[in-house]
């Protein structure tokens, strides 16, 4: 029994040894595994030092570089009722082509002969202006006649005043002489009276002297009366001269008032004429606005109104027009943290929706189906979601290893872009991504320094 147990125990250990040897890997396979691990480690180590292009991603849409190339709404300048459509959605139109025709809905312009009525009013106002001009000419002639008549009357009145003044001077001189004669006659009479008392003269002589004295006294009184009459005549001449001047002033003031009224009538007529001409021009221009025309070459994308007989307000949009052959651009939105790293002339790789592509973030040179672009502008203010819009245009001339942007691009389609920054090792990029640091800012200051130089 003991021998049998030893035999069974020995067989058990032999079976365990065979099972262990079968489960162990051969020595050659272990060496192969070690080599594979070593090669992978070396490859990973080498990859860590390969160059990696840092990029700033952004999503957006295709747009136009110039505002005039972007979709616009066609608006009517006056209110009206739609009478007929001349286009359909998707139709190509040229500048000046008719889009729709409207009719008048404003009561003031219902008269079909409104322009003729206004022209009649204009002719009547022109007649009023001509009448005002004739009145001005007549009044001017009247004023000239008044001036001439005044000159004649003033000359005559002034001569009469001068003549009366001369009479006064002459009569004043005569009065002085007569007074002198009167005094001499009075002195002689007194001497003769004394001589008659003394018996030197006879009664006849004294009576003669008394008669001469009375004559001289009468002459003195007559001369005084004459001087008084001359002064009165001078005063009347001066009064007449003042009356002539006052009368002329009144007549001239009336004539000037008539001239002012004529001038006012002419100015009023000219104002009404200008207003009527303006209304006629506005009506002629308004009649041209009954036809809504295409402002430029393009395609009618959508009509805002439908049907016939529908009223539209002034300045209301009736259709959306896409300009023909626009200069397309791409607008992408980037985070605010990345905006300082983007500068003018930065290169961008774009991926348009609808064009198959394979894009490598760190190696844009090996990307397939992407297109080259360049930063055109960066918004100065953030959008509603806190991102900044970057406008990208096509590189001109197109690089030799790139294709130009597809001509089939349509505004509004999606685009994905990456703004190209400087090159860094792969290990640096992994370390930056793990720590959440922004891309390196090494490249931008160098370019700014070059610009300053």
Mean pLDDT, residues 64-69 taken together: 88
The domain spanning residue 169 has which CATH number? 1.10.287.950
Residue 30 phi, psi dihedral angles, 5° rounding:
-65, -40
**pLDDT at position 369 over 60:** yes
CA dist., res. 92 & res. 299, Å (int): 4
Classified as helix, coil or strand, 243 is helix
**pLDDT at position 47 over 80:** no
Residues 272 and 352 in one domain: no
pLDDT of residue 368: 66
Instruction: Using CA atoms of 356, 361, 365, 369 in order, give the dihedral in degrees to the nearest 10.
Output: 10
More confident residue, 210 or 135: 135
Residues 143 and 190 in one domain: yes
Burial of 67 from C-beta contacts in 10 A (0-12 / 13-18 / 19+): exposed
Residues 78 and 143 in one domain: no
pLDDT of residue 448: 43
User: Is residue 202, in this structure, part of any structural domain at all?
Assistant: yes
pLDDT of residue 236: 83
Residues 381 and 422 in one domain: yes
Enumerate residues 6+ apart whose C-beta is below 8 A from 178: 216, 219, 220, 223
CA dist., res. 170 & res. 376, Å (int): 108
Which pTM does this prediction carry? Answer: 0.56
User: Is residue 20, in this structure, part of any structural domain at all?
Assistant: yes
The domain spanning residue 368 has which CATH number? 2.40.30.170
Across the chain, mean pLDDT equals: 79
Residues 331 and 419 in one domain: yes
Mean pLDDT, residues 174-193 taken together: 74
Which of 288, 311, 341 finishes a domain?
A: 288
pLDDT of residue 94: 93
pLDDT of residue 63: 92
CA dist., res. 154 & res. 152, Å (int): 5
pLDDT in tens, 280-327: 888 888 888 889 999 999 999 898 888 888 888 888 889 999 998 888
In the chain, the number of structural domains is 4
pLDDT in tens, 191-226: 777 776 766 666 776 777 777 777 777 777 877 787
| Structural domain containing residue 337 | 54-68+326-452
Residues 283 and 135 in one domain: yes
pLDDT of residue 15: 60
User: Is residue 109, in this structure, part of any structural domain at all?
Assistant: no
Residues 398 and 444 in one domain: yes
User: Is residue 268, in this structure, part of any structural domain at all?
Assistant: yes
Residues 316 and 385 in one domain: no
pLDDT of residue 234: 78
pLDDT of residue 85: 92
Other beta carbons within 10 angstroms of residue 309's beta carbon come to 8
Residues 83-112, buried b or exposed e (16+ Cβ, 10 A)?
A: eebebeeeeebeeeeebbebebeeeeeeee
Q: Which among 59, 33, 147, 154 is positioned nearest to 383, based on CA atoms?
A: 59
CA dist., res. 273 & res. 267, Å (int): 10
Which of 279, 301, 323 finishes a domain?
A: 323
Which residue has 């009044």 as its token pair? 139
User: Is residue 279, in this structure, part of any structural domain at all?
Assistant: yes
- Token output for 136: 């001005």
Residues 145 and 267 in one domain: yes
Is residue 335 within 8 A of residue 387, CB to CB? The reply is yes
Residues 415 and 384 in one domain: yes
Residues 268 and 133 in one domain: yes
User: Is residue 437, in this structure, part of any structural domain at all?
Assistant: yes
pLDDT of residue 453: 39
Which residue has 């942007």 as its token pair? 405
Residues 161 and 247 in one domain: yes
Residue 348 phi, psi dihedral angles, 5° rounding:
-135, 140
pLDDT of residue 445: 41
């Amino acid at each position: 029994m003991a021998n049998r147990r030893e035999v069974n125990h020995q067989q058990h250990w032999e079976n365990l040894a065979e099972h262990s040897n079968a489960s162990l890997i051969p020595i050659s396979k272990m060496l192969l595994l070690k080599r594979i691990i070593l090669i992978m480690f070396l490859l990973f180590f080498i990859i860590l030092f390969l160059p990696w292009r840092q990029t700033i991603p952004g999503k957006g849409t295709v747009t136009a570089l110039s505002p005039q190339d972007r979709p616009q709404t066609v608006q009517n300048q006056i209110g009206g009722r739609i009478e007929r459509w001349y286009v359909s959605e998707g139709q190509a139109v040229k500048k000046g082509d008719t889009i729709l025709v409207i009719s008048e809905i404003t009561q003031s312009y219902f008269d079909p002969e409104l322009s003729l009525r206004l022209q009649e009013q204009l002719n009547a106002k022109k007649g009023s202006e001509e009448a005002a001009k004739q009145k001005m000419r007549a009044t001017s002639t009247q004023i000239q006649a008044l001036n001439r008549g005044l000159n004649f009357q003033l000359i005559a009145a002034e001569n009469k005043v001068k003549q009366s003044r001369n009479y006064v001077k002459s009569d004043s001189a005569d009065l002085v002489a007569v007074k002198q004669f009167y005094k001499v006659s009075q002195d002689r009479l007194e001497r003769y009276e004394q001589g008659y008392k003394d018996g030197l003269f006879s009664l006849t002589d004294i009576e003669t002297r008394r008669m001469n004295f009375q004559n001289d006294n009468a002459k003195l009184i007559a001369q005084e009366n004459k001087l008084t009459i001359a002064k009165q005549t001078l005063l009347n001449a001066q009064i007449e001269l003042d009356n002539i001047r006052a009368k002329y002033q009144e007549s001239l003031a009336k004539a000037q008032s008539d001239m002012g009224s004529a001038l006012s009538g002419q100015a009023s007529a000219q104002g009404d004429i200008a207003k009527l001409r303006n209304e006629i021009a506005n009506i002629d221009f308004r009649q041209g606005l009954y036809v809504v025309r295409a402002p430029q070459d393009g395609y009618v994308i959508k009509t805002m109104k439908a049907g016939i007989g529908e009223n539209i307000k002034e300045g209301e949009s009736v259709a959306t027009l896409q300009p023909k052959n626009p200069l397309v651009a791409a607008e992408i939105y980037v985070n605010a943290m990345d905006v300082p790293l983007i500068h003018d002339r930065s290169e961008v790789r774009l991926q348009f929706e609808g064009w198959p592509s394979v894009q490598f973030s760190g190696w844009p040179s090996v990307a397939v189906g992407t297109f080259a672009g360049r930063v055109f502008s960066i918004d100065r203010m953030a959008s509603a979601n806190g991102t900044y819009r970057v406008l990208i245009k096509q590189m001109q001339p197109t690089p030799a290893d790139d294709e130009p942007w597809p001509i089939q691009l349509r505004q509004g389609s999606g685009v994905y872009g990456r703004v190209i920054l400087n090159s860094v090792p792969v290990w640096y990029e992994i370390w930056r991504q793990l720590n959440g640091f922004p891309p390196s800012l090494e490249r931008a200051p160098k370019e700014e320094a070059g610009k300053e130089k």
